[in-house]
Structure 1
Amino acid sequence: MIDGLSKDFDFYQKALALRQQRQDVLASNIANADTPNYKARDVDFSAALRTAVGQTGGLPRLPDTSLTLTSARHIPAQAHSVGATQELYRTPLQPSLDGNTVDMDVERVQFADNTMRYQTDLQVLNQRIKTMLAALQQ
């Protein structure tokens, strides 16, 4: 039972962490709206969440690997699988002369949408916790 609860809360923890990371990227775009040659970035939330929970096209995410050293002179090496998020560059609808690709209208809408979804995820998680507490009290 505890394992099931852990998996359920783990999903919400990953989703909220990804929403927070996307919020940081969008805030960075807004903050750099006047910076010459700044390229607006974003995170594909759906793909990042699938990767975070291990559903990458039906294939499970491989664990990180490190090599065993048999000599002190060997070079230590580690192989890391692709991280949960990959920041993508946004294609500008109307490029500016200074090379900046931030469109404030798009960024504000994306920022507000991500904030709303973050709050919704928190409310859903809060309701699940309240439901579990009510079940435990009965």
Structure 2
Amino acid sequence: MDLFGSSTFKALERGLDGSQLRQKAISQNIANVDTPYYKAKNVTFKQTLSEAMNQPTLQANRTNDKHVEFSKSTNTPLVQTNRNTMYNHNQNNVDIDFEMAELAKNQIYYNALIDRMNGRFTSLQTVIRGGN
């Protein structure tokens, strides 16, 4: 029995991975706010996550109904560099106000995922203890 293999746990895990990657990109942007020619990075994982969740499972020829269905899981968060803009005289395009807002938004998103994950673990703990 795979307690942590449900689609909810997998979605939460992928969301946390994406949030961690976004945190890293935002931190790099903030650290390089005054670096000449530095171009801001952005992580797109919410779209990737929703696409992964909405993808149908891969149909395979199963010879027995008890065989497990295959699924596609090739989607990964994408780190993109925005090279089309320039905010500073040194060719740098990091907007510190935008980055700080994105940092706060990512922190709220991460905390929401952690709260949801804790709720799932609490539910499992209640079941294991027999409802007490």
Deviation at 1:12, TM superposition (A): 1.4
Deviation at 1:54, TM superposition (A): 5.8
The AA in structure 2 aligned to 1:111 is: L
Counterpart of 1:84 in 2: which secondary structure? coil
Q: 1:136 aligns with which of 113, 128, 131?
A: 128
The AA in structure 2 aligned to 1:117 is: Y
- Report the Cα distance in structure 1 between the residues aligned to 2:42 and 2:118, rounded to whole angstroms: 27
Deviations 1:5-46 (A, max 9, x none): 412322211111110011000100000000111111111221
Q: Which residue of 1 aligns with 2:64?
A: none
- Percent of aligned positions that are identical: 26
Q: 1:118 aligns with which of 104, 110, 125?
A: 110
Counterpart of 1:19 in 2: which secondary structure? helix
Deviation at 1:50, TM superposition (A): 3.2
Counterpart of 1:33 in 2: which secondary structure? coil
CA gap of 1:126–1:60, structure 2 versus 1, over 3 A, is: same
- Report the Cα distance in structure 2 between the residues aligned to 1:135 and 1:4, rounded to whole angstroms: 12
Q: Which residue of 2 aligns with 1:42?
A: 42
Stretches of structure 1 that go unaligned for 5 or more consecutive residues are 62-80
Stretches of structure 2 that go unaligned for 5 or more consecutive residues are 59-72
Deviation at 1:124, TM superposition (A): 1.0
Structure 2 residue 98 is matched with structure 1 residue 99: no
TM-score calculated relative to the size of structure 1: 0.70
Q: Which residue of 2 aligns with 1:108?
A: 100
